[in-house]
Structure 1
Amino acid sequence: MSRHQRTILIADFELPRGAVPIEQLMDMPRAGWGHLRSQINVRRREDRSKPLARCRICEGGVFIRVQATRDGHIPMYAHYPEADRQCPWYEGNNLRPDDTRAAQYQGHQESALHRRLCSTIEQLVKADPRCTHTAVNTYLRPEIHKRGRWPDVYADLSDVGRFALEVQLSKPFAPEIAARHVHYDSEGVALVWIFNSLEDPMPQGFHDVVAMQRGNAFVFDDETEAVSIERGTLVLKCFLEDGLGGWRVPRMIGLDELQTGAGRSAFVEDCRSEALKQRCKQHRSRWWDAMKKAGKERPNSPEYSEHHEDGWADMKAAVPGLWQWERDFWTERSHRARAHTAVLYAILCSIAHSAEAGRPILHVTKFSGDSAVLSMLNSKLSGADFKHCASLIETFVRATALSDLLEKPSLKRIIAEAQATDTQVKEDHPLWRAMARLFPEVLDGLVRAELDDLGQLPCWASPSPKEPIADLAAAQ
């Protein structure tokens, strides 16, 4: 990694994200670091005194700055302007957003094209019989006692909703994007960013907008203007991410086709959440298929089946240190590492599937009845083979809809004994990282937080409500 200046090497995020080294940030897919960048800016807008990410050395707030290169955009950490300049990682002065904006526009913040587009969009919205009020570049007084906004176009479409339509011809700035989403969300107004075209490559500011709109980009051009006139309402061209770095074939949509109840975002289809959930299931599905085949082939000892070999080889290639742990495991515990991992996967699958179904579903041990999950955990954690996994399993259960199990006296006692008598697998251990790759919704802090931010954390990976979904474990 080349450094033109001093660089923040590690940022500490609020849990469950935790520490994110610069190498990990730069290795993330754009969707991942783009979401982090948006959330940092949202937090900055909501409460400047509690930054989402802090410099490891000076503990000052940091944001994600994007560096344009010949090969694309590279995310980097940067201190906010008020940071301690004595920090060894302080990278120099940052241009304030207002100064940057002034330099970009050179005093001309609204071009003739921008004025025409705003006026045309307002006329098209007004033509819709459901429209009760429109305004162009007019101060929108807030319903709460805070500063209002001047949306490019404001439209109230009775039962459809209220919309702030922002026409964006030049790249917007990340702090302003976050500020507008926070403001309009609090006012119950759907914010829609509208481009005149999608540049290739897109400026980072456009990527920031697409991140907030969950992989959707909206364009108003000559074609959509003609369709809008024909239909008698505003029509936008909607581009949806294809998951491969490009776009699907665009479709024409009206404002009534937007989902606006998800908080801070207006979109047609949540491309980001679905892609993230599919990535979560991708590696786990391979192990699940192997476990089912192994159960049929060797019902009494499926963990020793060769069906697990492909998944294990893939895991060793992806998780640093796993091959070393496999080599050391035989000496330390007299048990095959890959068989041990297969059983651990079956234990966690049993917890996840039981939490999802609201009834016991076990893939290891033969316990039955309402207390089957509790009996399975008590049995496995009291034996020598899995005592060292007590903290990992406790963390897993606590993050699921079966978290009430941890209040059972028998399980509390067994976990405490295991933690006191055996060295525990921690978050930096290869086995923990292997399980986090299979169950990122629970054990990968970055993925879990992103799903939670998007309102897409699956029900099984959410702690149990006050009213249990089912009596999965009778007191023992």
Structure 2
Amino acid sequence: MQRTIELADFELPRGTISIEQLMAMPWETWNHLRNQINRRRQKEPDRPLARCRLCKGPVFIRSRFTAEGHLPLYVHYPESPTDCPWYQGTNLTPDNARAAQYQGHQERALHRWMCDTIAEMLRRDPRCTALTVDTYRRPKIEIRGRYPDVYAMLEGLAEFAIEVQLSKPFAPEIAARHLHYEAEGVALIWVFRELEDELPQGFHDVITLQRGNAFLFDDVALAASIERGTLMLSALLENDRGGYLKPRLVTLDDLDRSTGKAIFLKDRRSEKLEEYCRAGRVKWWEAFAAAPPAKFSYPFSQTDFIPAWDSIKTFVPELRPWKRECWSERSYRGDRHFAELAAILFSIARTATTGNERVYVTRYKGDGCLLAMLNAKLSSQAFMPYADLIATMLAATPVRDRLNKPSLRQVIDDARQNAAQIGPGHPVWMGVTRLFPEIFDGVRRAELEDLNRLPAWAGGTASATPDRDPAPPADS
């Protein structure tokens, strides 16, 4: 079973030329290439123009005469490793040959080529002061070091560990590498050659850690790297339909390293998460701006609150039968009752956001108005069942100090003694969770906290910004 060298890596800018591409070339083209290989061999034998992708040994082009004319083939020079699976020496048995061809050799060869080529592109960057390929890096902090596929230090920018991933990575190893390089202060980038239509879960794990970003070192990135004289990558960002936006060429300078945990061009996952949180509140802020309590004796009966109620019952269908239950068992309008409870919680959020007390459910104003409103509402029979819910909201925000006020402590204790408290799973609690997932949705709150994206009004350390915090459209 005759073997052949399937891929040869030429010195740039030629790049990789497969055996199929070589055999398809016009005679004049491959013959010129053959002559250039021979010239380099004579002039600089230690710096071959072409190497076998698999063993990195030098290769040349042999011309074989056939009935159809001369055909070019790659051949190892004598000093190339004889154990290369593509070596043309003594033939292997058919079974061993098939094993050599298909048990990972081609993938490992591509991996090696990508690592070496990425390193070459980094070497061309004048800022590169340190560069290694598959070399042990002694740790600064961690107990043991690592063997990054490519390590580079770019002066004035950062240290980078680039992991080339072609086969399915395993979740424990992905996490271990991220933790290691995070502790070491090294920016970790996972680089693929391509994205298949059906990606293994390990690829999705990597893309998740990179906040919805996939980086490729494909032919387009290679050509751009050669032109720019530095490493370029094709960045694919997730779109809203389960696919990716049009690829963009980026340099390492373009990437965001601010989280210290992941590196990306643009955080696509956090944007979606924050948009999900805002979407549940937008109609309510509009209603509070249009129908503030100071202008109406019964603001929650105003038509401006109809779209707000429609939005929340769409998000939480369980509120529909609860509304009917409110009327049949308690003789009050469930939609208006929920709106009044929402106003209590939005008053907490508004005050926590700006630091200035502002309430939407009473006409109290100025310093102390939030505490006065909470005392009044929780003292009423209608809102006693929500003492736990309201206390949960307060405890998670910067206005949690109100819980230490003796008057409010007493009111909450009385409410708990005199009324059964609703909890998670109740339609109202579910509705409030959709309004303020940063507080009541444990999964989403934890994810925001992990990413340092939990807004300040919800008890996070992130700076308060209009995009992250529930500030109303206009100060009403």
Q: With the length of structure 1 as denominator, give the TM-score of the two structures.
A: 0.72
* CA–CA distance in structure 2, aligned partners of residues 409 and 463 of structure 1: 26
User: Does the aligned pair in 2 maintain the 1:194–1:220 contact within 8 Å?
Assistant: yes
Q: Is 2:285 aligned against 1:300? A: no
- Secondary structure of the residue aligned to 1:191 is strand
State the one-letter code of the partner of 1:185.
E
* CA–CA distance in structure 2, aligned partners of residues 152 and 114 of structure 1: 9
* CA–CA distance in structure 1, aligned partners of residues 293 and 355 of structure 2: 25
Q: How does 1:4-403 map to 2 (within 5 A)?
A: 111-295=108-292, 299-403=296-400
The structural deviation recorded for 1:144 is 2.4
* CA–CA distance in structure 2, aligned partners of residues 464 and 367 of structure 1: 30
- Secondary structure of the residue aligned to 2:194 is coil
Deviations 1:263-320 (A, max 9, x none): 3201111111111101111121022223333449972212112333344344334425
What is the aligned partner in structure 2 of residue 45 from structure 1?
none
What is the aligned partner in structure 1 of residue 457 from structure 2?
460
The structural deviation recorded for 1:442 is 0.7
* CA–CA distance in structure 1, aligned partners of residues 129 and 258 of structure 2: 21
State the one-letter code of the partner of 1:361.
R
State the one-letter code of the partner of 1:155.
A
* CA–CA distance in structure 1, aligned partners of residues 364 and 236 of structure 2: 51
* CA–CA distance in structure 1, aligned partners of residues 436 and 298 of structure 2: 23
The structural deviation recorded for 1:464 is 9.4
Q: How does 1:408-427 map to 2 (within 5 A)?
A: 408-427=405-424
The structural deviation recorded for 1:116 is 0.6
The structural deviation recorded for 1:107 is 6.8
Q: Percent identity?
A: 50
What is the aligned partner in structure 1 of residue 87 from structure 2?
none
Deviations 1:336-368 (A, max 9, x none): 111010011111111111101011122111112
State the one-letter code of the partner of 2:450.
D
State the one-letter code of the partner of 2:260.
G
- Secondary structure of the residue aligned to 1:132 is strand
User: Does the aligned pair in 2 maintain the 1:142–1:148 contact within 8 Å?
Assistant: yes
* CA–CA distance in structure 2, aligned partners of residues 245 and 291 of structure 1: 35
* CA–CA distance in structure 1, aligned partners of residues 261 and 460 of structure 2: 24
What is the aligned partner in structure 2 of residue 59 from structure 1?
none
* CA–CA distance in structure 2, aligned partners of residues 109 and 355 of structure 1: 58
* CA–CA distance in structure 1, aligned partners of residues 147 and 323 of structure 2: 61
* CA–CA distance in structure 2, aligned partners of residues 393 and 425 of structure 1: 11
What is the aligned partner in structure 2 of residue 470 from structure 1?
none
Deviates more, 1:146-155 or 1:322-331: 322-331
What is the aligned partner in structure 2 of residue 50 from structure 1?
none
What is the aligned partner in structure 1 of residue 73 from structure 2?
none
Deviates more, 1:285-294 or 1:417-426: 285-294
Structure 1 residues 357, 111: closer, same or farther in 2, change over 3 A? same
State the one-letter code of the partner of 1:125.
L
Structure 1 residues 250, 107: closer, same or farther in 2, change over 3 A? closer
What is the aligned partner in structure 2 of residue 34 from structure 1?
none
Structure 1 residues 442, 370: closer, same or farther in 2, change over 3 A? same
Structure 1 residues 228, 463: closer, same or farther in 2, change over 3 A? closer
The structural deviation recorded for 1:375 is 1.1
* CA–CA distance in structure 2, aligned partners of residues 439 and 202 of structure 1: 34
State the one-letter code of the partner of 2:187.
A
Aligned residues: 361
- Secondary structure of the residue aligned to 1:111 is helix
Structure 1 residues 362, 338: closer, same or farther in 2, change over 3 A? same
Structure 1 residues 210, 145: closer, same or farther in 2, change over 3 A? closer
What is the aligned partner in structure 2 of residue 30 from structure 1?
none
Q: Is 2:437 aligned against 1:440? A: yes
Structure 1 residues 203, 107: closer, same or farther in 2, change over 3 A? closer
The structural deviation recorded for 1:173 is 1.4
Structure 1 residues 354, 413: closer, same or farther in 2, change over 3 A? same
Tell me which stretches of 4 or more aligned residues in structure 1 moved more than 6 Å: none
Structure 1 residues 187, 463: closer, same or farther in 2, change over 3 A? closer
* CA–CA distance in structure 2, aligned partners of residues 257 and 409 of structure 1: 53
What is the aligned partner in structure 2 of residue 451 from structure 1?
448
Deviations 1:205-244 (A, max 9, x none): 1111110000111111111111111111101111111222
User: Does the aligned pair in 1 maintain the 2:293–2:363 contact within 8 Å?
Assistant: no
* CA–CA distance in structure 1, aligned partners of residues 323 and 305 of structure 2: 14
What is the aligned partner in structure 2 of residue 96 from structure 1?
none
Structure 1 residues 347, 297: closer, same or farther in 2, change over 3 A? closer
